[in-house]
Amino acid sequence: MPDIRLPAEAKYKTELDALAAHDDKPRPPGWALSPRAVEMYILGSPKPVGGVAITPKYVGDKGLIQVCIATLASDRALMLVGEPGTAKSWLSEHLSAAISGTSALVVQGTAGTSEDHIKYSWNYALLLAQGPTPEALVPSPILRAMRSGKFARFEEVTRTSPEIQDSLISILSEKQVSVPELGEITSAQRGFNLIATANTRDRGVNEMSAALKRRFNFVTVPVVEDLEQEIQIVTKREAELRNDYQVGVPPPEELSRVLLTLFHELRKGVTKDGKTKVRTPGAVLSTAEAISVLFNSSILAQQFGSGTVTSHELAASLVGAVVKEQEDDVKALREYMETVAKGRTGPWKELYTASKKLLRG
């Protein structure tokens, strides 16, 4: 059975191989590609490389990507911060794939993350049988990255407790992990680095210490403000999901535009023409959420509809995405439909009609 989702280094192997074969720029120690080739992989290339089209993985500010790459080339750890759904993890994965050849060395930050997840733990059956031996040691993804000179990724740092976060300080400062049970110190090989992510909505949950913050260069991944750019991103990623999962039908371009316009206006609290203020819901109306709404609509249309995505499927998916945090979100979306969508024509009017019964109450 094929994997549900291939890691970036596998899915885009042809592109990475082509870039590596034609990369004549200097590479930092341990890097699979030069900084310029990494940039080309992330942002795409207008011309094929070795006959291979290099597709854009991130659509956005070129300068932001260059700062990320330069930070990692300097051996300074990188912290990607921003609203949920702004492609922080996506960017982290592709940077790791292009530079280290693997994006799989990941620690997922949660309330239950312990120091074992960051440094090492033990195979307790072997520990009881042999005592503390190298064979009984279970290295964390970060320790494995240090040993192999690869990048490690730490997702959602601020969801872990402060004392666990601070166990990163010595790793980032000394580039070493001590294993006192074995009387050993593991020093990182050249090429090791760390890319971490944090949501701005988690700020104040487990705020990072000043000492830890100093070990990172912070780069803010912004919410996409340009409507045309976000339509491009959402359309591309939704098509990739349909291809990966082999399900769904292509949604009409006009419905994609309606959805993204709605997201933009609800996020900003005002219509595009600036004439009507709207209530902003508490739900995260991110680019990732828009991709999910459109993909879900395409599946509904294929499996339970006419085979063509209509406002009916879009409304059903949209309500579930917006109305999930608090009762006020229902009021916000209902108010938007009555004051904005109702007065517009074409698919807007159809969306208003389809959503009306779903938003009763």
**Segment 300-309, tens digit of pLDDT:** 999 999 999 9
* Predicted local distance difference test score (pLDDT) of residue 204: 55
**Segment 175-196, tens digit of pLDDT:** 999 999 999 999 999 999 999 9
Those residues with Cβ within 8 angstroms of residue 310's Cβ, 6 or more apart along the chain or in another chain: 255, 301, 350, 354
Q: Could you tell me which of 79, 49, 261, 59 has the C-alpha nearest to residue 154? A: 79
Task: Check: CB of residue 119 under 8 Å from CB of residue 143.
Answer: yes
Bridge partners of residue 199, in order along the sequence: 82
Task: Check: CB of residue 337 under 8 Å from CB of residue 314.
Answer: no
* Predicted local distance difference test score (pLDDT) of residue 320: 82
> Is the per-residue pLDDT at 1 higher than 90?
no
* Predicted local distance difference test score (pLDDT) of residue 50: 95
Higher pLDDT, 352 or 203: 352
Q: Could you tell me which of 46, 40, 51, 61 has the C-alpha nearest to residue 233? A: 61
* Predicted local distance difference test score (pLDDT) of residue 306: 94
Q: Hey, CA dihedral for 9, 12, 18, 23, is it positive or negative?
A: negative
* Predicted local distance difference test score (pLDDT) of residue 319: 87
Alpha carbons 210 and 101: distance in angstroms, whole number: 32
* Predicted local distance difference test score (pLDDT) of residue 328: 80
For domain 8-220, say whether CATH 3.40.50.10860 is its number.
Answer: no
* Predicted local distance difference test score (pLDDT) of residue 242: 94
* Predicted local distance difference test score (pLDDT) of residue 324: 66
pTM over 0.85: yes
Span 285-307, mean pLDDT?
94
**Segment 241-264, tens digit of pLDDT:** 998 889 999 999 999 999 999 999
* Predicted local distance difference test score (pLDDT) of residue 314: 95
Supply the mean pLDDT for the chain: 93
* Predicted local distance difference test score (pLDDT) of residue 325: 59
* Predicted local distance difference test score (pLDDT) of residue 359: 84
**Lowest-pLDDT range, 102-106, 151-155, 354-358?**
354-358
> Is the per-residue pLDDT at 113 higher than 90?
yes
* Predicted local distance difference test score (pLDDT) of residue 203: 63
* Predicted local distance difference test score (pLDDT) of residue 120: 96
* Predicted local distance difference test score (pLDDT) of residue 230: 94
Angstrom CA distances, 247 to 10, 299, 335, stand at 21, 6, 33
> Is the per-residue pLDDT at 21 higher than 70?
yes
> Is the per-residue pLDDT at 361 higher than 60?
no
Query: Where do the domains of the chain lie?
Result: 8-220, 227-359
Task: Check: CB of residue 49 under 8 Å from CB of residue 22.
Answer: yes
**Segment 343-358, tens digit of pLDDT:** 999 999 999 999 988 8
* Helix (H), strand (E), coil (C) string for the chain: CCCCCCCHHHHCHHHHHHHHHCCCCCCCCCCCCCHHHHHHHHHCCCCCECCECCCCCCCCCHHHHHHHHHHHHCCCEEEEEECCCCCHHHHHHHHHHHHHCCCCCEEECCCCCCHHHHCEEECHHHHHHHCCCCCCEEECHHHHHHHHCCEEEEECHHHCCHHHHCHHHHHHHHCEEEECCCCEEEECCCCCEEEEEEEHHHCCCCCCCHHHHCCEEEEECCCCCCHHHHHHHHHHHHHHHHHHHCCCCCCCHHHHHHHHHHHHHHHHCECCCCCCECCCCCCCCCHHHHHHHHHHHHHHHHHHCCCCCCHHHHHHHHHHHHCCCCHHHHHHHHHHHHHCHHHCCCHHHHHHHHHHHHHCC
> Is the per-residue pLDDT at 58 higher than 60?
yes
